């Protein structure tokens, strides 16, 4: 059971006392988060910690999951991609499935909370199915700076009903959206199984269980098998790294239940890395385990995040927290986290050569890698830990309730 006191030694007394002061204003209030999966991906990752810690601060909060069938999730994944700019054939049938699933869910889900937080596009139209008597907030975790126009216009009719929209970066502000927009940066839980401290022995035994040898260094990308995470590009850059340094590549991507594209992209990545997998130099893992991710990130020499688009990129935060140098694309929320040349390196997503060169540089210079890691951890401690996120949510709920009067 997570307790706020457990964070005292990480963020200090003042920060925890400030959270408890903010929570007092919300005693007796009750609000709810809704998204579409309990596990897989960054949103579930944050809610898993945020919800119990909010309750521990004595502010009553629940978490509900929108249920949908595979058609629904295939469509909402297309929406997700298209909100980040991909093309879509937005047919009436797709819109209907999207709306019907939300309507069905609303029939058996009563909402009598003081405020509602809806995460991402899947449950977005729910707002239309209720007699709204409380503030509703749409928390958008993806990069919506250049969405597909047609889809954006379709979804805007729902977004406009919300009291506030929360985005992860100032760059995602929508001038054509007449709804108050606020930036809340995501965060990680330093005490979760994914981020807690592990001894070297423990790391070694976990990696042994998952068949990852430690006889030579390895680099890693931890990400769902998703075209936007560019797993093929990671294989390509690794081929170049290998020409200069003998190391392995470990790619880990569990399958999120709201992401039907995973198996297809995994298969393509496997084909791309075929010979390297056979020789044991590329290791692909689809098993889901937080402690395994923790161990991989801790044992890796360099962490890669070669995304083409990225809402925020919690995997970058996790890597930095573990004092690892991160070589990543200059997209989405990643530049908020990495100061280029200080806590890692930022590159254009298509710059395979650049990714390889920077990775080689770090593999060959452990001192540089170490000093970057130290700076990265400090940045995360100040700005991207779950206690700061909790504090921002308490402000948010207080503000929307006050605005209501």
- Which spans of this chain sit near ligand UDP (rule: CB under 6 A)? 41-42, 45, 194, 222-224, 252-254, 288, 290, 293, 311-315, 318
Axis-axis angle for helices 149-159, 70-83 (nearest 10): 110
Rounded Cα distance between 258 and 72, Å, is: 9
DSSP sequence for 247-282:
-EEEEE----TT-TTHHHHHHHHHHHTHHHHHTTSE
Write down the least CB distance from residue 252 to ligand UDP, Å.
4
Write down the least CB distance from residue 92 to ligand UDP, Å.
29
DSSP 126: G
Q: What Å distances lie between residue 49 and 21, 39, 254, CA to CA?
A: 20, 12, 19
CB atoms within 10 A of CB 76: 25
For ligand UDP, which is the closer residue by CB, 187 or 247? 187
Q: Which residue is nearest to ligand UDP (CB)?
A: 42
Which tokens hold the place of 126?
A: 């729910």
Rounded Cα distance between 364 and 296, Å, is: 20
For ligand UDP, which is the closer residue by CB, 139 or 194? 194
Cβ atoms 168, 312 nearer than 8 A: yes
Write down the least CB distance from residue 94 to ligand UDP, Å.
22
For ligand UDP, which is the closer residue by CB, 106 or 220? 220
CA nearest 319: which of 373, 364, 282? 373
Find all residues with CB under 8 Å of 62, minimum gap 6, and list them. 30, 31, 32, 33, 51, 113
133 exposure class (CB count in 10 Å sphere: 0-12, 13-18, 19+): exposed
Write down the least CB distance from residue 271 to ligand UDP, Å.
19
Write down the least CB distance from residue 26 to ligand UDP, Å.
27
For ligand UDP, which is the closer residue by CB, 245 or 334? 334
Write down the least CB distance from residue 324 to ligand UDP, Å.
13
Write down the least CB distance from residue 254 to ligand UDP, Å.
4
Cβ atoms 345, 294 nearer than 8 A: no
For ligand UDP, which is the closer residue by CB, 134 or 195? 195
Write down the least CB distance from residue 276 to ligand UDP, Å.
19
For ligand UDP, which is the closer residue by CB, 238 or 312? 312
Cβ atoms 143, 310 nearer than 8 A: yes
Handedness of CA 40, 46, 51, 56 (dihedral sign): positive
For ligand UDP, which is the closer residue by CB, 102 or 307? 307
Write down the least CB distance from residue 30 to ligand UDP, Å.
27
For ligand UDP, which is the closer residue by CB, 68 or 231? 231
For ligand UDP, which is the closer residue by CB, 101 or 223? 223
């Amino acid at each position: 059971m997570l307790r706020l006191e457990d964070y005292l030694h990480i963020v200090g007394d003042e920060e925890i006392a400030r959270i408890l002061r903010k929570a007092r204003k919300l005693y007796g209030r009750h609000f709810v988060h809704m998204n579409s999966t309990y596990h897989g991906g960054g949103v579930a990752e944050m809610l898993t910690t945020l919800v119990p810690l909010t309750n521990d601060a004595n502010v009553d909060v629940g978490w509900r999951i929108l249920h949908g069938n595979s058609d629904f999730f295939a469509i909402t994944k297309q929406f997700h991609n298209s909100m980040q700019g991909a093309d879509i054939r937005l047919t009436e049938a797709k819109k209907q499935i999207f709306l019907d699933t939300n309507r069905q869910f609303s029939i058996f889900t009563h909402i009598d909370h003081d405020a509602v937080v809806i995460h991402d596009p899947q449950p977005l139209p729910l707002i239309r199915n209720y007699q709204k008597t409380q503030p509703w907030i749409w928390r958008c975790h993806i990069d919506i700076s250049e969405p597909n126009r047609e889809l954006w216009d379709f979804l805007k009719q729902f977004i406009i009903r919300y009291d506030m929209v929360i985005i992860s970066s100032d760059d995602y502000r929508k001038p054509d959206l007449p709804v108050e927009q606020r930036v809340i940066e995501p965060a990680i839980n330093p005490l979760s199984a994914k981020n807690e401290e592990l001894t070297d022995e423990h790391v070694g035994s976990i990696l042994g269980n998952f068949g990852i040898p430690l006889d030579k260094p390895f680099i890693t990308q931890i990400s769902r098998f998703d075209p936007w995470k560019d797993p093929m590009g990671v294989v390509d850059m690794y081929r170049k790294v290998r020409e200069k340094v003998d190391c392995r590549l470990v790619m880990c991507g569990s399958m999120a239940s709201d992401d039907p594209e995973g198996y297809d992209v995994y298969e393509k990545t496997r084909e791309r890395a075929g010979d390297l997998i056979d020789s044991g130099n590329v290791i692909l893992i689809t098993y889901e385990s937080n402690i395994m991710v923790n161990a991989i990130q801790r044992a890796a020499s360099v962490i890669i995040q070669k995304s083409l688009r990225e809402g925020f990129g919690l995997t970058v935060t996790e890597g930095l927290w573990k004092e690892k140098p991160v070589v990543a694309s200059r997209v989405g929320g990643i530049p908020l986290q990495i100061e280029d040349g200080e806590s890692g390196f930022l590159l254009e997503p298509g710059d395979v050569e650049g990714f390889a060169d920077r990775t080689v540089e770090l593999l060959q210079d452990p001192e540089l890698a170490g000093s970057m890691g130290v700076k990265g951890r400090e940045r995360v401690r100040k700005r991207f830990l779950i206690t700061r996120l909790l504090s921002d949510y308490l402000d948010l709920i207080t503000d929307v309730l006050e605005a209501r009067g």
